[in-house]
Amino acid sequence: MSIDSSANIHPSSVIDTGAFVGANVNIGPFCHVGSEVTLNDGV
């Protein structure tokens, strides 16, 4: 799992091992990011 330090992830969200979360990504409440997901910068 790789999560950029500038990512904004709501505490109720779940990020699976293996997911990639880029710079300046915003993940809202109750989201589930799967292990094969890539969220590139700014999503």
Please write the tens of the pLDDT for every residue from 1-42: 899 999 999 999 999 999 999 999 999 999 999 999 999 999
User: What pLDDT was estimated at residue 1?
Assistant: 82
pLDDT at site 39: 98
Q: What is the pLDDT of residue 13?
A: 99
Q: What are phi and psi of 40, to 5 degrees?
A: -70, 170
- CA distances to 2, 10 from 17, rounded to whole Å, are 8, 17
